[in-house]
Amino acid sequence: MHKTIAEHPSLADKFNKDEERVNWHDQTLWWVRAKRDKAAHTLPEWEDLRNLASQIKHNVLSNLSEYLVQFEENALKNNIQVHWAADAQEHNAIVKSILQKHGVAQIVKSKSMLTEECHLNDYLQKEGIEVIDTDLGERIVQLAQEPPSHIVLPCIHKKKEEIGELFHLHLGTPAGNADPQFLTAAARLHLREKFLTRKIAITGVNFAVAETGEFVVCTNEGNADMGAHLADVHIACMGIEKLIPERHHLGVFLRLLARSATGQPITTYSSHFKKPRQGQEMHLVLVDNGRSRQLGREDFRNSLKCIRCGACMNTCPVYRRSGGHSYHNAIAGPIGSILAPNLDMKDYADLPFASTLCGSCSNVCPVKIDIHNQLYKWRQVLVQQGYAPAAKKAAMQGMAFTFSHPAFYRMAGKTGKWFMKTTPFVVNNSFNPWYKQRDMPEPPKESFHDWYKKNRKQNE
């Protein structure tokens, strides 16, 4: 049974009611995009790195089953307990079983888009297990009872004054204090107690090395390290596509990831986990959740190259002015719009249409995913499968008829021009989405067809 979900246009309208928020959201993300450009331009070999990363990922996807077997063998040799999950439900059940085995009802968790995708927090909380997100942005949206709106900047949609109010309500900070340094210090004190008292920590995985059986977690706050090193049990959750063949390939991806995400040369912490320390348990949950299906779609398999840098979001004019929550999916923006329909075409049929197809997302992608082409192809698939809205389908059929019948096309053009000239209110009204944000153009004095006929006769 499909759940009822508000679609992108209506959620974007809600976000756009606060024009001031929209403007600084747009400007802040473009500032991050500009930082990415500056960082990229410092490396003469930037495009070579992008090409190499794309080729490495292509090799992984083409030989995924072999690399997964190799990775599991090496991880087991390292005393990591490996679990396989076909979907989100299995993933959540595996995590719950580990917690139950140790009698733990309170855990800490660092940023993991996979656990967001699987709705792990909601699942565990319904089972009576407290989950504390330790990434500062993730903790802020958790206190606000919201999902992250960006995969790298989870609370980018929040003003510092709103964060101050949240901290006053939940952490007891002074009312009205919105100083970022003070709020960060308060969060540090709040989270330090959680790190010291929780016996199990969950992390995501940025990269997993088939050659060695190790995995790498990249953070700027060190919260993943703090949780994993203080806990008796470390549970790492990863999608099966996060593999790279050999350790030396990490140098390519680590140089691309932070520059693409925030304009940094490298993340503050790039932590390698190869084996549990003495007396610790380490679990690794490998999750499919539709990835094998996406791998089998020739037009869309390259989307699995994604390294979750968020560069496509920072550059996308639609994302910047509609907000991450308008995508009603764990992963928003252009990349989320080509990943989500693979999970459920019906629920996410609106997302590939939330794009201008300008191609900026493909231009900044560090692994050269053809995102804008895949958005266009998803539109075709969704219409063919009957998931396009009836009104849009009827409009497209009407346009197809008009463009394929020249006489009707010319008559429609003349009729439209007459209405725009004599009764503009027929076009310029709130029922026309284009008119809501734009001034409609003046009707032309003559059509191109008429102009061409007249000038061709004059030149003969």
Residues 400 and 383 sit within 8 Å (Cβ to Cβ): no
Summarize the confidence of residues 415-426 as an average pLDDT: 80
Q: What is the pLDDT of residue 187?
A: 95
pLDDT digits (tens, 9 = 90+) for 174-215: 999 999 999 999 999 999 999 999 999 999 999 999 999 999
Lowest mean pLDDT among 128-132, 380-384, 427-431: 427-431
Q: What is the pLDDT of residue 459?
A: 64
Torsion of CA 307, 117, 24, 261, to 10 degrees: -10
Q: What are the boundaries of each domain within the chain?
A: 1-37+316-388, 43-289, 400-456
**DSSP strands (E only) in 193-287:** 200-203, 207-209, 214-219, 233-239, 243-244, 269-273, 281-287
pLDDT digits (tens, 9 = 90+) for 266-320: 999 999 999 999 999 999 999 999 999 999 999 999 999 999 999 999 999 999 9
- Tell me the HSE value of 367 on the side-chain side, using a 13 A CA sphere: 28
Q: What is the pLDDT of residue 454?
A: 83
Show the 3-state SS of 139-201: HHHHHCCCCCCCCCCCCCCCCHHHHHHHHHHHHCCCCCCCCHHHHHHHHHHHHHHHHHHCCEE
For the domain spanning 43-289, the CATH number is 3.40.50.10420
Considering the entire predicted model, what is its pTM? Answer: 0.90
Is the model's pLDDT at 3 over the cut of 70? no
Q: What is the pLDDT of residue 435?
A: 75
Q: What is the pLDDT of residue 446?
A: 83
Summarize the confidence of residues 361-375 as an average pLDDT: 98
| Model confidence band, residue 236 (pLDDT cutoffs 50, 70, 90) | very high
Is the model's pLDDT at 137 over the cut of 60? yes
Q: What is the pLDDT of residue 1?
A: 41
Name the strands in the sheet holding 269-273, side by side, starting at the edge strand that comes first in the sequence: 243-244, 207-209, 214-219, 269-273
| Model confidence band, residue 6 (pLDDT cutoffs 50, 70, 90) | confident
Torsion of CA 447, 453, 454, 456, to 10 degrees: 130
